[in-house]
Structure 1
Amino acid sequence: MWRFYFCLPFLLFDISAATSAESIFLPSQIRVDSSRVFDTRSSHVCSSPDPNLNYKPVIGILTHPGEGRWDAGRHSLSYAYSTNISYIAASYVKLAETGGARVIPLIYNEPEELLFQKLELVNGVIFTGGWAKTGLYYDIVEKIFNKVLEKNDAGEHFPVYAMCLGFEILSMIISQNRDILERFNSVNYASSLQFFENVNIEATVFQRFPPELLKKLSTDCLVMQNHYFGISPDNFQGKPSLSSFFNILTTSADKDSKTFVSTIRSKGYPVTAFQWHPEKNAFEWGSSEIPHSEDAIQVTQYAANYLVSEARKSMNRPSSEKVLSNLIYNYKPTYSGYKGSGDDEVYIFM
């Protein structure tokens, strides 16, 4: 007897067994002709796209001065500014891509007219980690952030994700105090997140986290800290400009058990800032302290999903031609993981 096999999704179906008791489908559910097998139990109708969502979101990532943390011997503003070189750690790009977005690099030291033209091509912005808190870089972060607030005030949903240095600079901008940061012993170690008293996680990055993962965040070391500076909860709440703009979502403790604010969310804008690094768990390998457990990877994935879900609410729809010519795909990352520290890959812009 001839035996014919047809490959269906998740099923290798043997026609000769179609009416046997071991078949997955009942005989009445299968219709066979000479060339096809049909499942007649139901018809599938694809839902229409939500016109209020942008299914091709693009995230702008601001470059940071210098060639990257893999070249630690050249960490100085004077060197970075004199060489005109800047970079983006590839892990931030991968974070956005994990959530389903594409990336356009916003080169901090290119002509401002060009920089702000690129800002009109994106649906959200990431301010990365790093070390530059003064000079041109600070000024550009402040200008972009003020533009973002203007966009939101005008009715355009335009999110910001700020990580580590980004957290610190936004705190300085909102407080209008460049000396607000305190020293913490928080370099290169994994920690937990303690949810702030009476915190409401609705409409925050943590809303979609499964309950079990939320619990583990407060008991296990699932996030990576790598910073010398931060703000204590008392100092944060004691600054009306900060406490009126942001809600504290989580705190963490440094190596000396000193508590600092670790996650904040704006009360009136789609702005989320992390003192920790949601991008590192899944995409960086240079430090043995970076958590790589399945739970830690889920933290990265849920953080990425939230970022892009916010960007999808943006109705900014620039022409495809302008977007394509500016995407990060036009650049090649440089592998730097052989150094055994810092970022595994960086995009360098000259």
Structure 2
Amino acid sequence: MGNYLLISFLLLLCGITTAVTQLFNSYLTLPSSCPAPDPALNYRPIIGIVSHPGDGATGRLSNATNVSYIAASYVKFAEMAGARVIPLIYTEPPQVLNQKLNLVNGIIFTGGWAKDGLYFDVIKGFFQKILEKNNAGEHFPLLAICLGYELLTMIITNDNNILEEFSAASQASTVQFVENVNIEGTVFGRFPPVLLKKMSIDCLVMQNHHFGISPERFQANKDLSSFFRVLTTSTDENNKVYVSTIQAQRYPIAAFQWHPEKNGFEWGSSRIPHSEDAIQVTTHVANYFISEARKSSNKPVAREVLDSLIYNYNLTYGGKAGKGYDEVYLFIPHSSSSSL
């Protein structure tokens, strides 16, 4: 009797195992439910970030002549949305910068202080090439932050004195959306409505600048008002209103007087907002910009990309000073160069 029961149990177990195996195999042969990638999109976008003069720490990290840097927060900002980064070291020879330009699907102009000399010339050269690429049919986005925003106003107006003085250094602030502004297709187009409302009530963005442009001066300048539309304004510590977010009318170009990258990745100032809502602002801006870069049709040779990626450079930690950037990439050129 015992042997009979054992044999019956083994047969039952074998039957169950066979049934499970057959069911598993049937799942393996089912057609995939994952949709095919959109052939119109580039799922391996590369972002170029232009380096800025100095070491980002007023000489604490390097006093080398012609040293330049990129704050790691800009790199992480691009990476968090699914892109890789190639540094566009502004002191490199023009032919090298042009080669790198052909490897990227979008560019970030960072914050900083430099408004003249070689740096200004390189930024101006890049901007002209960005317009040329878009005019030729290539979707090539630009994100300009703080100094980058200011330089665009100077370049587009051909007026180095277009900017006005404001008191907005190390200041968390709100942004006020222009009345009846249409945000569809802009950087704010995919923001949840509740977050948009909070941005106008809570201090969710970080300002860190001494210059800007008032709405009145902006609208009075035909070059600016025809190229950009104003999305938001902000108020400095003296209650003076300035334009804080703009978007190009015909190009995939967005510019911020504020710093979307700082909320998630910089800790040197206690005023930087780090709330969940503030992090959502960073996330949505990054996702917008990289989604624009995915529309680029440029798909360069993989080896050339790998040789140029920022992974080939070392990070320097400067955050122990309790101010400035937490991490930077430093670039020390071997020889001088000219503008693009």
- Does the pair score TM above 0.5? yes
Residues 217-248 of structure 1 show CA distances to partners (whole Å, capped at 9, x for unaligned) of 10000000000000000000010000000000
Q: Deviations over 1:186-243 (max 9, x none)?
A: 0001000100122110111101110100100100000000000000000000100000
SS at match of 1:88: strand
TM-aligned CA deviation for residue 43 of structure 1: 6.2
Q: How does 1:115-194 map to 2 (within 5 A)?
A: 115-194=97-176
Q: Cα deviation per residue 1:163-190 (whole Å; 9 max; x = unaligned)?
A: 0000000000011100000000000010
User: What is the DSSP-based 3-state SS (H/G/I as helix, E as strand, rest coil) of the residue aligned with 2:200?
Assistant: helix
Q: CA deviation at 1:116?
A: 0.9
The whole-number CA distance in structure 1 between the counterparts of 2:22 and 2:135 is 62
Distance apart, 1:58 and its partner CA? 0.1
CA distance in 2, matches of 1:276, 1:100: 22
CA deviation digits over 1:115-163, x for unaligned, max 9? 1110000000000000000111001000000000000000000000000
1:60 corresponds in structure 2 to: 48
Report the equivalent of 1:20. Answer: none
What percentage of residue pairs aligned between the two structures are identical?
62
Aligned counterpart for 2:65 among listed residues 80, 83, 86? 83
Between the two structures, name the one with larger relative contact order (CA 8 Å, sep ≥ 6).
2
Structure 2 unaligned spans of 5+: 1-18, 333-340
Identify which of 315, 318, 325 aligns with 2:300. Answer: 318
Amino acid at match of 2:110: T
Distance 2:167 2:173 in 1: 12
Cα distance change, pair 71–44 in 1 and its aligned pair in 2 (3 A): same
CA distance in 1, matches of 2:266, 2:66: 26
Q: Which amino acid aligns with 1:271?
A: I
Alignment of 1:176-255 (within 5 A): 176-255=158-237
Return the index of the structure with the highest Cα Rg: 2
* Count of aligned pairs: 313
Report the 3-state secondary structure (helix = DSSP H, G, I; strand = E; otherwise coil) of the residue aligned with 1:325. helix
TM-score of the superposition, structure 2-length normalised?
Answer: 0.89
The answer to whether the Cα contact below 8 Å between 1:54 and 1:313 also exists between their aligned partners in 2 is yes
Aligned amino acid, residue 113 of structure 1: Q
Q: Match of 1:265, SS? A: strand
CA distance in structure 2 between the partners assigned to 1:58 and 1:309 by the alignment: 12
Separation of aligned partners in 1, 2:51 and 2:213: 24
Compute the RMSD of aligned alpha carbons.
Answer: 1.9
Match of 1:49 in 2: 37
CA distance in 1, matches of 2:59, 2:244: 25
Q: 1:319 & 1:123 partners in 2: Cα distance? A: 13
**TM-score w.r.t. length of structure 1:** 0.86
Aligned to 1:14: none
Stretches of 4+ aligned residues off by more than 2 angstroms: 31-40, 70-74
Task: Tell me if structure 2 keeps the 8 A contact 1:261–1:275.
Answer: yes
The one-character-per-residue Cα deviations of 1:55-79 (angstroms, maximum 9, x if unpaired) are 00000000000111x23679xxxx9
Q: Is it true that 1:258 corresponds to 2:245 in the alignment? A: no
Paired position in structure 1 for 2:328: 346
Asked if the contact 1:32/1:38 (under 8 Å) is kept, the reply is: no
Counterpart code for 2:287: N
Tell me by how many angstroms 1:36 deviates: 5.7
Cross-structure match for 1:335: 317
Letter in 1 for 2:115: K
Amino acid at match of 1:71: T
Q: Distance in 2 between matches of 1:144 and 1:190?
A: 30
Which position in structure 2 is the counterpart of 1:71? 58
Query: What amino acid is aligned across from residue 226 of structure 1 in structure 2?
Result: N
> Can you list the C-alpha shifts for 1:12-52, whole angstroms capped at 9, x where unaligned?
xxxxxxxxxxxxxxxxxxx6349969879x96422111111
The unaligned stretches of length 5 or more in structure 1 are 1-30
C-alpha distance in structure 2 between counterparts of 1:184 and 1:302, whole Å = 27
Secondary structure of 2:103's match? coil
- Residue 304 of structure 1: aligned partner: 286
